[in-house]
């Protein structure tokens, strides 16, 4: 039933997501899609979208956390600044068979199990010779989904991430991979430039590192000190394993 739902959803999404001009599917990745898209693509282009803020407000009780200690993964919020950039990568998927496979994978990964919906925005390549400005889709977590954690003090976000781990590994690794992408593929290891690209992300990463290298801070809090942890429902183990197995490419 789960797989048939994703197939039907993919077919419906194809009608609205594929460009009428090029016949291609364009998808923007700003977190795990950067390093592990899980589908075949023809082009991968580094660049940015505007008018959003990257935040680690979506809970995860499988891939980077557990029901007892959820992790935090990335989503996007609409920014008050229409020019605020979020750097990531655009994928172009051209072949008809690849498009359907990609949409099925993304339906399972982002929508049916992830609590995300899609939005359409404009992509600006880092290097203008790679492509022109391009309309594409981006996946954003629904604030009302059952694993959405939302905002809290950035120190508490960092603490929660520092201790969380799931079937794909430590939650901290997920955050640091986004930072490494900015460092290597966007800023060319220019530390001053990196600091200006995403101040929230850089501060979060630094705080996580500090917690993990502390001798006593990481054992000084409890669930009672972090009440937002209990907002994520403890799904039964059978459903949790099914969610893990159905989206093996998420990391």
User: Which residues are tagged catalytic?
Assistant: 110
Q: What is the 3-state secondary structure (H, E, C) of the chain?
A: CHHHHHHHHHHHHHHHHCCCCCCCEEEEECCHHHHCCCCCCCEEEEEEEECEEEEEEEEECCCCCCCCCCEEEEEEEECCCCCCEEEEEEEEECCHHHHHHHHHHHHHHHHHCCCEEEEEEEEEECCCCCCCCEEEEEEEECCCCCCECCCCCHHHHHHHHHHCEECCEEHHHHHHHHHHHHHHHHCCCCHHHHHHHCHHHHHHHHHHHHHHCCCCHHHCCCHHHCHHHHHCCCCCHHHHHHHHHHCCCCC
Cα(79)–Cα(60) distance, rounded to whole angstroms?
23
Token output for 120? 């359409």
């Amino acid at each position: 039933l789960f797989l048939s739902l994703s197939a039907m959803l993919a077919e419906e999404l194809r009608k609205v997501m594929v460009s009428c001009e090029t016949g291609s599917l364009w998808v923007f990745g700003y977190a795990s899609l950067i390093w592990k898209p899980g589908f075949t693509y023809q082009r991968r282009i580094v660049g940015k979208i505007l008018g959003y803020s990257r935040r680690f407000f979506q809970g995860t009780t499988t891939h980077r956390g557990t029901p007892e200690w959820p992790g935090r993964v990335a989503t996007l919020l609409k920014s008050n600044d229409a020019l605020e950039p979020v750097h990531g990568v655009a994928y172009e998927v051209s072949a008809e068979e690849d498009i359907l496979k990609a949409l099925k994978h993304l339906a399972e990964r982002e929508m049916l199990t992830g609590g995300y919906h899609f939005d359409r925005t404009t992509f600006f390549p880092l290097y203008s010779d790679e492509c022109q400005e391009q309309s594409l889709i981006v996946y954003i977590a629904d604030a009302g989904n059952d694993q959405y954690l939302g905002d809290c003090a950035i120190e508490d976000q960092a603490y929660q991430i520092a201790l969380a781990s799931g079937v794909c590994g430590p939650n901290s690794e997920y955050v640091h991979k986004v930072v490494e992408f900015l460092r290597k593929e966007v800023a060319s290891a220019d530390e001053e430039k990196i600091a200006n690209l995403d101040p929230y992300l850089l501060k979060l990463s630094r705080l996580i590192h500090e917690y993990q290298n502390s001798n006593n801070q990481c054992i000084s809090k409890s669930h009672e000190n972090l009440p937002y942890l209990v907002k994520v429902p403890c799904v039964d183990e059978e459903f949790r394993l099914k969610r893990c197995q159905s989206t093996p490419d998420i990391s």
